[in-house]
């Protein structure tokens, strides 16, 4: 696999909707922390960058145990920026292509591999299943619009393969807001699960049992 | 566009250990200097105060012995190779005395900034303790990448465009965590990152 691909895990957020006073990456599911599950699907020869913020030192200690070759990027401004801000920071130190993985998202090894191997910008969508989805309007193979209001059958997941230059130009807010100006962009439907709220923990357990 | 400049702390960043504990092995009483070094790295004692005290404690070791210990100190070889490969862009910034560092700089054909020593009646003194923050002034208009691991790197990190905290030898103190853009644990990862910042 190409050495110029880096996986950036955006794990700086507070996870306020979950309300557990720890980063979502450190939430334990079936005896393993979420970031541990994420590392289990990342090939060992792929460079990993973890962007930390809230309780970053604690999260970094866990990352060091699991992937000591990882690079920790610190988003000191995590309470005023969002995933795009974290990805922008991470992109400075990454390869020419970045696979951005939201810190609260788990997908399958095969899906992640597909994104790692992509040599063009690629977005991951799933059928709408969350309480507050970012609706993704599509046309053929492309996403043409993101919206909180205009309903569609797909929602944005937080998994993407993007060029380093594009990542640096996404602003500081949510990734989908930064990507909006670069649409249309190719997408694939993926099998994944994310944790937003307490009720998602049980769903995540079930999803892991079915997919791992 | 002007080329970036890479500044590297010496103890625990280029070397695999802090130097003063290595030197302390040559002292009859090493515990005081070891304790002082530990407190200084963690930022519990101001660098200048600690450094002057340590120089006093080290006076019983002949300068050639100290120079030999420096030139033979174990180093992070991949990092040092990277620095030597890009020597025109790289400088070592260390609080250690220039007379101790000189043979090391000559051996590796590298440039750097150190504290300045005086020698009177064969007694080593200090004429100037390095102010790391002032080193940035030597490179006006250039992007500065600072690589370090100790509390005395903080002032230079504040002025750098990019600050890299290294935890190859020990954990960075809290103040370095607060100033660093990234933290890295392994040499390979560090060298790859440095290459991307060229």
Query: Is there a contact between A74 and B182 if contact means CB atoms under 8 Å apart?
Result: yes
Measure in Å the smallest separation between the Cα of B147 and chain A Cα atoms.
Answer: 14
- The answer on pLDDT for A3 being more than 70 is no
pLDDT of residue B177: 95
Give bridge partners of residue A7 from the DSSP assignment: A48, A99
Query: Is there a contact between A69 and B188 if contact means CB atoms under 8 Å apart?
Result: yes
How far does CA A181 lie from the centroid of its chain? 19
- The answer on pLDDT for B164 being more than 50 is yes
Strands A105-107 and A192-194: antiparallel
In B52-194, at which residue ranges do the beta strands (DSSP E only) sit?
90-97, 111-120, 123-128, 144-148, 162-166, 182-184
Closest residue in B to A76 (Cα) is: B178
Confidence of residue A150 (pLDDT cuts 50, 70, 90): very high
- Containing H/E element for A210? helix A199-211
Q: Give me chain A's average pLDDT, please.
A: 93
Q: How far apart are CA A162 and CA A172, in angstroms?
A: 16
B95 and B130 in contact (C-beta within 8 Å)?
yes
Going from the C-alpha of A34 to that of each of A27, A132, A194, B22, the distances in angstroms are: 6, 21, 10, 42
pLDDT of residue B109: 97
Dihedral angle sign, alpha carbons of residues B169, B174, B177, B180? negative
pLDDT of residue A1: 41
Q: Is A20 helix (H, G, I), strand (E, B) or coil?
A: coil
Average pLDDT of A71-84? 94
Strands A71-74 and B182-184: antiparallel
pLDDT per residue over A37-52, tens digit each? Answer: 999 999 999 999 999 9
Q: How far apart are CA A181 and CA A24, in angstroms?
A: 29
B144 and B136 in contact (C-beta within 8 Å)?
yes
B99 and B67 in contact (C-beta within 8 Å)?
yes
Whether pTM > 0.95 for this model: the answer is no
Q: How far apart are CA B122 and CA A82, in angstroms?
A: 60
Give bridge partners of residue A192 from the DSSP assignment: A107
- The answer on pLDDT for B4 being more than 60 is yes
Average pLDDT of B76-89? 97
Percentage of residues of chain B with pLDDT beyond 70: 99
Residues of B in contact with A76 (CB under 8 A): 178
Closest residue in A to B181 (Cα) is: A74
B178, B181, B192 member nearest A73 (Cβ) = B181
Q: How far apart are CA A172 and CA A166, in angstroms?
A: 13
Measure in Å the smallest separation between the Cα of B163 and chain A Cα atoms.
Answer: 11
Closest residue in A to B195 (Cα) is: A93
Alpha helix positions (H), B95-142: 98-108, 132-135
pLDDT of residue B122: 76
ipTM entry = 0.91
- The answer on pLDDT for A67 being more than 60 is yes
Query: Is there a contact between B184 and A64 if contact means CB atoms under 8 Å apart?
Result: no
pLDDT of residue A210: 95
- Containing H/E element for A51? strand A47-52
Residues of B in contact with A64 (CB under 8 A): 167, 185
In B121-193, at which residue ranges do the beta strands (DSSP E only) sit?
123-128, 144-148, 162-166, 182-184
pLDDT per residue over A154-187, tens digit each? Answer: 999 999 999 999 999 999 999 999 999 999 999 9
Q: How far apart are CA A168 and CA A85, in angstroms?
A: 9
Closest residue in B to A68 (Cα) is: B185
Residues of B in contact with A94 (CB under 8 A): 196
B20: which residues sit within 8 A by CB, 6+ positions away?
Answer: B11, B33, B34, B36, B37, B54, B58
Q: Among A30, A53, A44, A55, which residue's Cα sits nearest to residue A1?
A: A44
């Amino acid at each position: 696999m190409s050495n110029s691909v880096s996986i950036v895990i955006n794990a700086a957020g507070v996870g306020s909707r979950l309300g557990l006073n720890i980063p979502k990456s450190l939430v334990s599911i079936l005896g393993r922390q979420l970031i541990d599950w994420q590392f289990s699907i990342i090939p060992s020869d792929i460079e990993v960058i973890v962007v930390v913020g809230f309780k970053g030192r604690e999260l970094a200690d866990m990352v060091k145990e699991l992937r000591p070759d990882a690079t920790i990027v610190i988003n000191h401004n995590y309470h005023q920026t969002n995933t795009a801000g974290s990805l922008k920071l991470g992109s400075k130190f990454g390869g020419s292509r970045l696979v951005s993985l939201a810190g609260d998202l788990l997908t399958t090894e095969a899906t992640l591999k597909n994104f790692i191997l992509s040599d063009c910008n690629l977005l991951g969508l799933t059928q709408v299943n969350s309480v507050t989805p970012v609706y993704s309007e599509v046309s053929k193979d492309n996403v043409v619009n993101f919206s909180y209001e205009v309903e569609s059958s797909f929602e944005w997941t937080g998994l993407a393969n993007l060029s380093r230059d594009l990542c640096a130009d996404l602003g500081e807010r949510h990734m989908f807001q930064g990507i909006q100006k670069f649409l249309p962009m190719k997408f694939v439907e993926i099998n994944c699960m994310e944790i937003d709220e307490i009720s998602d923990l049980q769903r995540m357990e079930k999803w892991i049992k079915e997919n791992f | 566009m002007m080329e970036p400049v890479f500044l590297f702390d010496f103890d625990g960043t280029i070397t695999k250990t802090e130097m003063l504990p290595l030197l302390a092995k040559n002292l009859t009483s090493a515990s005081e200097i070891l304790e002082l070094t530990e407190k200084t790295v963690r930022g519990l004692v101001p660098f200048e105060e600690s450094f002057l005290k340590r120089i006093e404690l080290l006076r019983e070791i002949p300068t050639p012995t100290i120079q030999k210990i420096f030139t033979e100190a174990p180093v992070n070889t991949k990092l040092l190779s990277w620095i030597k490969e890009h020597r025109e862009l790289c400088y070592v910034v260390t609080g250690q005395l220039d007379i101790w560092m000189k043979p090391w700089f000559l051996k590796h054909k590298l440039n750097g900034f150190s504290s300045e020593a005086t020698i009177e009646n064969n007694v080593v003194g200090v004429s100037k303790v390095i102010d790391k923050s002032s080193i940035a002034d030597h490179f006006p208009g250039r992007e500065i990448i600072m690589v370090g691991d100790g509390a005395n790197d903080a002032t230079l990190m504040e002025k750098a465009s990019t600050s890299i905290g290294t935890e190859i030898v020990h954990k960075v103190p809290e103040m370095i965590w607060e100033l660093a853009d990234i933290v890295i644990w392994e040499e390979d990862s560090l060298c790859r990152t440095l290459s991307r910042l060229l």
